[in-house]
Amino acid sequence: VQVAGHLEGASDLDVGKNGVNTYKLSNNDYFTLDIHKGEDSVSAELVLQKSLDREQDSVIKLTLTAVDGGNPPKSGTSLIIISVMDTNDNHPVFSKSLYKIKIPENLSSGSTVITLNATDTDEGSNSEIEYSLRKKGKQTDVFSIDEQTGTVTNKRNIDFEENNAFELRVKASDGASSPMSSHAKLLIEVLDVNDNAPEISVTSLLNTVKEDASLGTAIALVSVFDKDGGKNGMVICKISNNGSFPSCLRLFFRSSLPCCSLTVISLDVVITQILLVSLQFLSIYPLHIPKTQRHFVNTPFLTHRNGFHALGGIFQLKAETSEKQTNIF
């Protein structure tokens, strides 16, 4: 309880008991009257009984009535208007305590991610909001917030493969000399875009393969990895050889195919329209295995030597196979 102010007294041309006798105050939630009576005068003070709340009642209207002591009594009234001044007694309040949003990883730098909103029921500078991001690791290097509007933008390109989610703490402060503040959490989920081609690694187990190698012989180990996530990270592999070699790697013959060049193709399995392809080349050299016997071209072989032929003389024998190879001994 505290005295709000002294009220100016009423005047009455009558004197004695017909003069001003008392005061009355209209019903309200905040004020009462404290009446002081002297020998020849009556005065009143306005007393505050309950704390004021400008956000509930910014203006309070009261009616003060002065009553004389005559019979019947007469009275006069006066209107009292009280304007409640603001004090910084309210925190800023976000429209949500938790914000969630999804953005694609190819969002261009400087794009608007989300606009946050906080309000303060105070008035004047006490209600002006300033936004900021609490620094936490490298996340504030990726995003920024407009101090006045609360608009969050990305400062650089975002890569799903580096960060697929961000958690930001946003602060809203009012403009008072001793500001009050509140906080909200912003969760940003990064959606994967098919921006990575599959990576193919080929380890050759055999650079040369016998032409009579059995079916199922391991020739190379092929591993494929895609940095994208979900369906964008699934791949389909196939072998392409432009028709020069069976894709199933069945037996081959050096006589008709001295070298086989294979292309391992890896394709994304995506639900979008973007399809990324990787190629890896693999060369296989068939190792010839003779399958037919050689035979001499001329049999029997006859040669003539005179008695004076020097030791170490050279004679040629020619042998052939059906595989079009000729050996000379």
Q: Which domains does the chain have, with CATH numbers?
A: 2-83 (2.60.40.60), 93-191 (2.60.40.60), 199-287 (2.60.40.60)
Check residue 161 and give its pLDDT.
81
3-state DSSP percent of the chain in helix, strand and coil, to 5: 5, 45, 55
Start-end of H helices in 145-191:
none
Cβ–Cβ under 8 Å, residues 13 and 67? no
The string of pLDDT tens digits covering residues 161-201 is 888 899 999 999 999 989 999 999 999 999 888 777 777 77
What gap in Å lies between CA 107 and CA 206, rounded to an integer?
Answer: 46
For residue 221, give the nearest of 190, 245, 200 by alpha carbon. 200
- pTM for the predicted model, two decimal places: 0.58
The most confident of 182-186, 256-260, 320-324, by mean pLDDT? 182-186
pLDDT value for 287? 56
pLDDT confidence band for 304 (50 / 70 / 90): low
Which candidate, 19, 22, 126, places its Cα nearest to that of 65? 22
Mean pLDDT of 60-67: 93
The DSSP secondary-structure symbol of 74 reads -
Q: How far is CA 214 from CA 8, 84, 218, in A?
A: 118, 98, 10
What distance in Å separates the CA atoms of residue 212 and residue 215, rounded to the nearest whole number? 9
Give yes or no for residue 132 having a pLDDT over 60: yes
Q: Write the pLDDT tens digit of every residue in 146-168.
A: 999 999 999 988 888 888 899 99
